[in-house]
């Protein structure tokens, strides 16, 4: 189960202080739904609408990275989220016990599964892997745009046809 959000920002949402969340797991019992909830709640705290495209993209990226960690490196792992002081950038860090870096598979419309990392690469500004003494750390940076812009109008509604 995910621990409560760690908000190191003040109650008044001091925009000069980043918002942070972190959790760790020991087994594959960690819930991917909990990871999505954590990022959604953190972005809501930062002023982003939970139904806006940046928040939906962030949930997808977190879901894919945590799923890969649980599927390919069972055992201890961790998730850390940090929203920049201006609430325009989200850094997602997933740590697991496997030293093997993730490798995107070639696109194949006939294959079920194996497309998640390609989606992550497409959505993120940056994605890199850092090898550690006991595994690896995958760091993804996702542009969120302005939190104020995310609350104005319905332009970011992914269900709206244009």
- pTM score, two decimals? 0.80
For residue 35, what are its two tokens? 């990871």
Q: 3-state DSSP call for residue 64?
A: helix
Is residue 21 within 8 A of residue 1, CB to CB? The reply is no
Instruction: Flag whether 6 is in a domain.
Output: no
Instruction: Flag whether 19 is in a domain.
Output: no
For residue 58, what are its two tokens? 């962030």
pLDDT of residue 7: 35
Domain at 64, CATH number:
3.30.565.10
Which of 57, 90, 86 lies closest to 146, judged by CA? 86
Instruction: Flag whether 11 is in a domain.
Output: no
pLDDT of residue 35: 93
pLDDT of residue 13: 53
pLDDT(110) > 90: no
SS percent in the chain: helix, strand, coil, step 5: 30, 25, 50
pLDDT above 70 covers a percentage of the chain that reads 80
Instruction: Flag whether 54 is in a domain.
Output: yes
Instruction: Flag whether 63 is in a domain.
Output: yes
Domain count, the chain: 1
pLDDT of residue 1: 37
Instruction: Flag whether 14 is in a domain.
Output: no
The mean pLDDT value for 36-51 works out to 95
pLDDT(6) > 70: no
Q: What is the pLDDT of residues 59-78, one digit of tens each?
A: 999 999 999 998 888 788 99
Instruction: Flag whether 131 is in a domain.
Output: yes
Q: Confidence band (pLDDT; 50, 70, 90) for 112?
A: confident
Instruction: Flag whether 95 is in a domain.
Output: yes
pLDDT of residue 150: 52
CA distance 14 to 50: 20
Mean pLDDT over all residues of the chain?
82
Cβ count within 10 A of residue 156: 19
Q: What is the pLDDT of residues 22-42, one digit of tens each?
A: 988 876 667 899 999 999 999
Is residue 127 within 8 A of residue 138, CB to CB? The reply is yes
- Domain with 87 in it: 30-106+113-150
pLDDT of residue 142: 98
- Give the start-end residues of each E strand in 3-146: 19-25, 77-83, 89-96, 126-132, 135-143
CA distance 60 to 28: 19
pLDDT of residue 56: 97
What totals of helices (H) and strands (E) does the chain contain, helices first? 4, 5
């Amino acid at each position: 189960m995910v621990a409560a959000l760690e908000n190191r920002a003040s109650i008044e949402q001091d925009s000069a202080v980043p918002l942070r969340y972190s959790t760790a797991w020991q087994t594959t019992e960690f819930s991917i739904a909990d990871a999505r909830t954590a990022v959604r709640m953190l972005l809501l705290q930062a002023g982003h609408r939970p139904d806006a495209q940046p928040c939906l993209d962030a949930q997808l990226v977190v879901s894919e990275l945590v799923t890969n960690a649980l599927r390919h490196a069972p055992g201890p792992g961790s998730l850390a989220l940090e929203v920049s002081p201006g609430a325009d950038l989200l850094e997602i860090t997933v740590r697991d016990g496997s030293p093997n870096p993730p490798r995107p598979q070639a696109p194949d419309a006939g294959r079920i599964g194996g497309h998640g990392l390609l989606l992550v690469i497409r959505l993120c500004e940056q994605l890199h892997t850092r090898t550690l003494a006991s595994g690896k750390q995958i760091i993804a940076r996702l542009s969120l745009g302005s939190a104020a812009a995310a609350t104005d109008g319905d332009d970011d509604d992914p269900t709206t046809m244009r």
